[in-house]
A = this chain, B = another copy of it.
Amino acid sequence: MSVVREKAEGFCDRELQGVYRAIRERRDVRSGFLPEALGDDVLLRLLGAAHNAPSVGLMQPWRFIVIRSLLVRSAVRDIFSQAQQVAADSYAGERAELYRGLKLEGILEAPQNLCIACDPVSERGHRLGRQSMPETAIYSAVCAVQNLWLAARAEGIGVGWVSILDPEALKVLLGIPAHMVLVAYLCLGYVDGFQPRPELERVGWEQRIPLADVIRLEHFDGDHLLTGTAK
C-alpha cells in the first residue's frame, strides 16, 4: 500500500504578495534619507531578520556593528571619498561624466549605518559544509544582508550598500580583528520614497537583462526555459 504524502501549503495570497513585493520593490538607496533616527525596536526587528539568515553548519558567523556616531560616520565618509577618487580617475569621456553625476552613498544623511563582518574560520558549525567550500561562511553573512534589506523595504526603510571603500581601512577604524572579513557596509534610514526603477538604469549607467537570458536547462549552454513567455 502506498502512502500519498501531502504537500505543505504556501502562504496566503497577501503574505505571498508581501514577499514578492519586497523582492521587487527593494532599492539600493543612496539619497532621500530623512533625519529621523530608527528606534531600537524596529532596528532590532531588522537585525533579527538578518540573524535568521541561513548559515553553513548553523555557524552564524556574523557580527553587526550599528553606527550612529557622527564622528565615526565622518571617518567612514573619508574612507569612501578616497576610494571614490581612485574610481573616478579610472573613467574617461562620457562614462567619467556619468560617474561624476552618480550619488553613491548616504553615509552622513542616513542617521544610522551598519557594518556586517564575518568570522570565516570560527569553530562554530564544526566546519560542516566548509571543507569543500570555505567561502560559504562569507556567503552566509551576505544572506543576512539580503534578509535585512527585504525586511527594511517592508518597513518602509531604505538601505544602501556602500562598496566603494577600502575594507581594510574600515576594519582598522571599527576595531574588527584582522582574521575577520568585512562583508558589507550599509546606510539605513527612513526615506521620502522608493524609486520605481533602479537608479543606475534610470540615469543610463546600465540596463537590466531580460530574465530569459540568464536561465539555461541542464547545462551552461543548454536550452532556454520558456523563452517565449519569460520576461
- Interface of A with B (CB < 8 Å)? 5-12, 14-24, 26, 28, 32, 34, 36, 40, 43-45, 47-49, 51-54, 56-60, 62-69, 72, 83, 86-87, 90-91, 95, 99, 102, 104, 117, 124-133, 135-136, 138-139, 142-143, 145-147, 149-151, 153-158, 161, 163-167, 174-177, 183-184, 190-194, 198, 200-201, 205-209, 211, 214-222, 225-226, 229-230
Which of the residues B83, B128, B132 comes within 8 Å of A132, measured between beta carbons?
A: B83
Q: CA separation between A43 and B226, bound complex, in Å?
A: 11
A19-B154, A131-B86 known; A66 vs B7 contact (CB < 8 Å): no
Which residues on B sit within 8 Å (CB–CB) of A130?
163
Closest to A209 in B: B60
Copies in the complex: 2
- Cβ contact within 8 Å between B167 and A133: yes
Closest to A128 in B: B205
- Cβ contact within 8 Å between A219 and B174: yes
Nearest Cβ distance between residue A157 and chain B, in whole angstroms? 8
Nearest Cβ distance between residue A190 and chain B, in whole angstroms? 5
Name, among A7, A28, A221, A225, the residue most crowded by chain B CB atoms within 10 Å (CB to CB).
A7
Which residues on B sit within 8 Å (CB–CB) of A127?
87, 90
Q: CA separation between A51 and B23, bound complex, in Å?
A: 10
Q: CA separation between A230 and B64, bound complex, in Å?
A: 14
Nearest Cβ distance between residue A25 and chain B, in whole angstroms? 9
- Cβ contact within 8 Å between B146 and A8: no
